[in-house]
Chain A
Amino acid sequence: MLNRFCKRGGSFHGHYDKVSGALLTSLDMQAYVCANVFAQQRFGVHRMSPRLMGEGTMPHNSGLSRRDLLKWTGASGLAVLATACGAGGTTSGSGAGGAKALSVLVEAGGKAELTKIAEAFTAKTGAKVTFIELPYDGLFNRLSGELSSGTLSFDVAALDAIWLTAFAGAVRPLTELFTADVKADLFPALVTEAQVGGTFVGMPVWTNAEILFYRKDLFEDADEQAAFKKKYGHELVPPTTWEQFNDAAAFFTRGGKLYGTDVKGAVETEWLAHILQAGSPGVVLDASGQVIIDNEQHLKALTFYSDLNNKLKVSPPGAAQLDWAGAQNLFNQGKTAMMRFWAHAFPLIPKDSPVYGKVGAAPMIGGAAGVAGIPGPWYLSVPKATKQADLATEFVKFAYDNNAMAIESSLGLAARKSAFEQYADKPGYEHFKPLLETLNATATKPRPATAKWQQIVDTVLIPTLQQSLNPNADYTGLLAAAKDKVQSLAQ
């Protein structure tokens, strides 16, 4: 486009413009267009004339020598820099007057989980805790940049479980914090996931898992119960098995006004949970790192999951593109009767939603191996490069000791079994017992400990899932192709 403009302009200078045209963004191009228009309109000449290439410059005899210009330029630059630097301030690290201070890097959604804990920590130790709050994708970039350079802006980082392997080499071992009592009060999958190469590199601070949300007003309606029993021969109850789930989903699918459930093609964890329910020793990779994505359990889970959309047709259209937010909105608008979703969303149903006060929670459904879910924990880790390792480790221990405080936050999650149990019988926390049952289930396992996990998800799992949401999909073939891709990534 720039070149075309130049030709029309008449004498745009070739070499510079080829270079700059290739490098500049559309914003830059607009600027160049303005520049050329300016030149043409004002002086009847075109910019970047040969003079810029060193021809036809002004005579150097008119008072301002090259040296003067350099002096003038340098002085201006230094003055501006000096002014600009003065506008800044000192970086954090320790508080004013040498008071203790700690910076905690956290994803925006998780900050609330740590706020009360941080306040209590400050009250106890006098150390001011400052949160560096970043969006999820940005947090990973920030961690990668700072941990690789060793120049840190934080002393403690809240890490997604799937990042632990990638950053294990840059964080301090926390093995001494994992006493027998600590391990006994954490869900087994979380204890497993906290270790990389046998070393504990993060302390769980909160966790989540998918459970079953269902419409109590529909499931407890006497007419619905009678009609269901007449049609299927068993009681209408919140489903605990795949078969019950299929029946209930089919029963509540009513001509586009209401669907039995959703099928999410844009996210993978629901399929992964079904793989564990089918009894697979792991998801995608086994404990030894072998690719098992084409095993029998993966195929059964994919068949169960995709057939909800392809054969039973109990999910709203557009399954391949549906993600968490979309599925949550559909349920909150009363368009689906059941939803497998992260437990934290249970108390977050809006008051103006047509289903507010009509939703029940049950453990995640089970397959041949029983109930299983994929835990979604976050861990607190202490970077090796921090200058406040002791204070940071003290904060991590304090966060574990006072883990129940996190439940009072807007997200309302914790990591310790005892913290969840403390609230499980209180009104408003009806989702905690299903969550506890799902997280304690023997088939519940963490995702594989591989630094390539996010890449596997983005380039293999989600595309495979989306391709499977087609009535003519060949599930076996898709998994075979997925195996090749995962193996090439793992190499």
Chain B
Amino acid sequence: MTPRTSTRTLLWALLTSIVVLYAFPFAYLILTSLKLPTDAIAVPPTVLPKAWSLENYGTALATPGVIPSFINSTSTAVISTVLSVLLAVPAAYGITRYGTVSGRIFIMLALVTRMVPPVAIGVPLVTLMSTAGITDTPTALALAHTTISLPLSIWLMASFFEAVPPSLEEAAVVDGCTRLQALVRIVVPVVGGGIAVTAIFAFLASWNEFLFALLLTAVRAQTTPIVIANFQTQYGLQWGPMTALATLYSVPVVLFTLLLQRRIVAGMTLGAVKG
């Protein structure tokens, strides 16, 4: 075995170990969801089910509030993602293309919401949403989630716009486009992959968020992370249904990620400009 081969083997072993380490909790979650309810809480726990069963899924889906919570999670994440992208694209474009002092200050201040603990923002948000009369709605929660995802979205989009040479827009202008047309018809399609990346991170941030959902929702807008947590009560842990619902809740976001992953790769390989 040559030194190069042995290094490669070692690297593969290391990579495999890391993947197993990261993937094991999720694999264990899925396997637990497929155990019988009594096996799911056995002491000591087992990795593989003694008998395979979908009973936990039935129990989870029959729990009141589960289906509405999926709808709430989806609508909240969609609203938050749309808001983040629609606000981040022009904001980031303006900051990168005009390069003003105020723009530079703005992009730094945009990170303020990430400098403080979320709970410090959450309590005032409760009062604000209540004053606005939108408490316990997906809109209120989506606005709260936008405070998390918008700064990141602006920074991300700024970096994507940075990567687009100004000559591309200048060429478009020479060809008769206005600045707005150049932005909409030339720049935005070029950074489509970047918008997809920004959207997926905004969506993930909202989909997985727990604290604001806890503080800002009550009945009508309760999202699935809260419903999952409700399976652990003072009087017992319904481990089986909890893992089943967590698995179900993971499916859309895994699919979404895989779907946009392809879009991102495609975006990176097309290459509108040869460097």
A35 and B164 in contact (CB under 8 A), knowing A51-B99, A84-B83, A138-B226? no
A153 and B136 in contact (CB under 8 A), knowing A43-B275, A70-B94? yes
> Does A48 touch B at the CB level, under 8 Å?
yes
Q: Which residue of A lies closest to B174 (CB)?
A: A62
Establish whether residues B65 and A63, one from each chain, have CB atoms under 8 Å apart when the complex forms.
Answer: no
Of the candidates B90, B183, B193, the one whose C-beta lies within 8 Å of that of A76 is B90
Chain B residues closer than 8 Å to A148, beta-carbon distance = 123
A69 to B162, CA, bound (A): 17
Establish whether residues A145 and B215, one from each chain, have CB atoms under 8 Å apart when the complex forms.
Answer: yes
Of the candidates B104, B136, B143, B220, the one whose C-beta lies within 8 Å of that of A84 is B143
Q: List, sorted by A's number, 13 A–B pairs whose CB atoms are closer than 8 Å.
A: A34-B264, A42-B275, A54-B101, A64-B180, A73-B87, A84-B79, A84-B82, A87-B75, A88-B138, A91-B137, A133-B230, A149-B124, A376-B234
> Does A107 touch B at the CB level, under 8 Å?
yes
A47 and B233 in contact (CB under 8 A), knowing A32-B156, A68-B179? no
Chain A residues closer than 8 Å to B122, beta-carbon distance = 145
> Does B98 touch A at the CB level, under 8 Å?
yes
State which residues 113-162 of B face A: CB under 8 Å: 114-115, 119, 122-124, 126-127, 130, 133-140, 142-143, 152, 155-156, 158-160, 162
Which one of B3-11, B13-21, B197-205 is at the interface? B197-205
Chain B residues closer than 8 Å to A34, beta-carbon distance = 197, 264
A441 to B81, CA, bound (A): 58
Of the candidates A39, A52, A72, the one whose C-beta lies within 8 Å of that of B95 is A52
Which one of B23-31, B38-46, B243-251 is at the interface? B38-46
Establish whether residues B163 and A47, one from each chain, have CB atoms under 8 Å apart when the complex forms.
Answer: yes
In this complex, the interface size class of chain B, counting residues with CB under 8 Å from chain A, is 35 or more
The 3 closest A-B pairs by CB, nearest first: A44-B275, A64-B179, A109-B233
A54 and B104 in contact (CB under 8 A), knowing A35-B156, A332-B38? yes
Chain A residues closer than 8 Å to B159, beta-carbon distance = 32, 35-36, 39, 47-48, 52
Name the residue among B43, B95, B133, B236 with the largest chain A CB count within 10 angstroms.
B43
A329 to B35, CA, bound (A): 15
Establish whether residues A344 and B160, one from each chain, have CB atoms under 8 Å apart when the complex forms.
Answer: no
Of the candidates B162, B163, B230, the one whose C-beta lies within 8 Å of that of A135 is B230
Give chain B's interface residues, CB within 8 Å of chain A.
Answer: 36-38, 41-43, 65, 75, 79, 82-83, 86-87, 90-91, 93-101, 103-104, 107-108, 111, 114-115, 119, 122-124, 126-127, 130, 133-140, 142-143, 152, 155-156, 158-160, 162-166, 169-170, 173, 177-183, 193-194, 197-198, 201, 204-205, 211, 214-215, 218-220, 222, 226, 229-237, 239, 264, 267-273, 275
State which residues 114-144 of A face B: CB under 8 Å: 130-136, 138, 141-142
Chain B residues closer than 8 Å to A135, beta-carbon distance = 226, 229-230, 232-233
> Does A271 touch B at the CB level, under 8 Å?
no
> Does A57 touch B at the CB level, under 8 Å?
yes
State which residues 21-44 of A face B: CB under 8 Å: 23-24, 27-28, 30-32, 34-39, 41-44
A51 to B214, CA, bound (A): 41
Question: Closest CB-CB distance, B56 to chain A, in whole Å?
Answer: 14
Chain B residues closer than 8 Å to A68, beta-carbon distance = 179-180
Give chain A's interface residues, CB within 8 Å of chain B.
Answer: 16, 19-20, 23-24, 27-28, 30-32, 34-39, 41-45, 47-49, 51-60, 62-66, 68-70, 72-73, 76-77, 80-81, 84-85, 87-92, 103, 107-110, 130-136, 138, 141-142, 145-146, 148-149, 151, 153-154, 160, 208, 316, 324-326, 328-330, 332-333, 335, 342, 344-345, 348, 350, 352-353, 376, 411
A36 to B155, CA, bound (A): 12
A47 to B98, CA, bound (A): 17
Q: Which residue of B lies closest to A350 (CB)?
A: B38
Establish whether residues B108 and A19, one from each chain, have CB atoms under 8 Å apart when the complex forms.
Answer: yes
Establish whether residues A60 and B136, one from each chain, have CB atoms under 8 Å apart when the complex forms.
Answer: no
Question: Closest CB-CB distance, A62 to chain B, in whole Å?
Answer: 4
A56 to B138, CA, bound (A): 42
Question: Closest CB-CB distance, B256 to chain A, in whole Å?
Answer: 14
A27 and B205 in contact (CB under 8 A), knowing A47-B159, A108-B233, A136-B232? yes
User: 7 extra interchain contacts, Cβ-Cβ under 8 A, other than A31-B197, A48-B162, A88-B139?
Assistant: A19-B111, A42-B272, A51-B99, A56-B166, A80-B82, A130-B219, A141-B211
Q: Do most interface residues of chain B lie in helix, strand or loop, or is the interface mixed?
A: helix
Of the candidates A51, A53, A85, A149, the one whose C-beta lies within 8 Å of that of B123 is A149
A350 and B37 in contact (CB under 8 A), knowing A39-B163, A45-B275? yes
Establish whether residues A103 and B218, one from each chain, have CB atoms under 8 Å apart when the complex forms.
Answer: yes
A53 to B218, CA, bound (A): 44
A142 and B215 in contact (CB under 8 A), knowing A57-B98, A110-B234, A133-B230? yes
A77 and B273 in contact (CB under 8 A), knowing A62-B182, A333-B43? no
Establish whether residues B173 and A326, one from each chain, have CB atoms under 8 Å apart when the complex forms.
Answer: no
A68 to B215, CA, bound (A): 38
Q: Which residue of A lies closest to B183 (CB)?
A: A64
Establish whether residues A91 and B134, one from each chain, have CB atoms under 8 Å apart when the complex forms.
Answer: yes
A23 and B233 in contact (CB under 8 A), knowing A57-B98, A84-B139? no
Q: Which residue of A lies closest to B198 (CB)?
A: A31
Question: Closest CB-CB distance, B264 to chain A, in whole Å?
Answer: 7
Chain B residues closer than 8 Å to A85, beta-carbon distance = 134, 139
Of the candidates A24, A63, A134, A330, the one whose C-beta lies within 8 Å of that of B180 is A63
Establish whether residues A146 and B126, one from each chain, have CB atoms under 8 Å apart when the complex forms.
Answer: yes
Q: Which residue of B lies closest to A36 (CB)?
A: B159
Chain A residues closer than 8 Å to B99, beta-carbon distance = 51-57
Establish whether residues B272 and A153, one from each chain, have CB atoms under 8 Å apart when the complex forms.
Answer: no
Chain A residues closer than 8 Å to B114, beta-carbon distance = 23-24
Establish whether residues A134 and B214, one from each chain, have CB atoms under 8 Å apart when the complex forms.
Answer: yes
Establish whether residues A20 and B143, one from each chain, have CB atoms under 8 Å apart when the complex forms.
Answer: no
Establish whether residues A342 and B235, one from each chain, have CB atoms under 8 Å apart when the complex forms.
Answer: yes
Establish whether residues A145 and B126, one from each chain, have CB atoms under 8 Å apart when the complex forms.
Answer: yes
Chain B residues closer than 8 Å to A37, beta-carbon distance = 268
A92 and B218 in contact (CB under 8 A), knowing A136-B232, A149-B126? yes
Chain A residues closer than 8 Å to B158, beta-carbon distance = 48, 52
Q: Which residue of A lies closest to B166 (CB)?
A: A58
Question: Closest CB-CB distance, A311 to chain B, in whole Å?
Answer: 23
Establish whether residues B214 and A138, one from each chain, have CB atoms under 8 Å apart when the complex forms.
Answer: yes
Of the candidates B130, B197, B271, the one whose C-beta lies within 8 Å of that of A91 is B130
